[in-house]
Amino acid sequence: MTTVPSPTDPSKIIELALWDTAGQEDFDRLRPLSYNDTDVILIVFACNHRPSLLNVQDKWYPEMAHFCENVPLILVCTKTDLREDQQTLSLMAAQGTTPINASEGERVAREIGARRYMECSAKAGKGVGEVFDAAIRESMKKGGLKKMKGKKCLVL
């Protein structure tokens, strides 16, 4: 549990609890037990790993649509610094692929009905805070500050 200033009123403090669920197939039956009372979902994929974007459509979105109907969803592209990393670009080119660009991410976000599409790079320190601010804002839209106690954010 972490406390953060409210993005809409910095004089108010919000307790933020994140649940990073295991993506391994071994946890498929246990993972839904962590979904109760979820207020916002962040589905995350890496721009340098195309299978992670395919998993958004083939695994994570269907699971969320089934277990977390009507919960706001934010699609997040991570590791955006690797789009300009020569070693990553060379390795991907040798494999006949390229990094996922923003247009591709935005298209998938529209297809799955995500409220927002965002990008970030923890390594470059870009966009990470904005992702969590957006998650807090989406939670607040759903229940307001008075109902925030005991709420959680799910990261996939």
Question: Residue 43 belongs to what domain range?
Answer: 37-155
In a domain, 7, yes or no: no
In a domain, 90, yes or no: yes
In a domain, 11, yes or no: no
What pLDDT does residue 5 have? Answer: 79
In tens, the pLDDT along 104-138 reads 999 999 999 999 999 999 999 999 999 988 998 88
Q: What is the pTM of this model?
A: 0.84
What is the CATH number for 141?
3.40.50.300
- For 146, counting Cβ atoms within 10 Å of its Cβ (0-12 exposed, 13-18 middle, 19+ buried), the class is exposed
In a domain, 16, yes or no: no
In tens, the pLDDT along 34-72 reads 788 888 999 999 999 999 999 999 999 999 999 988 899
In a domain, 76, yes or no: yes
Whether the per-residue pLDDT at 22 is higher than 70: the answer is: no
Domain count for the chain: 1
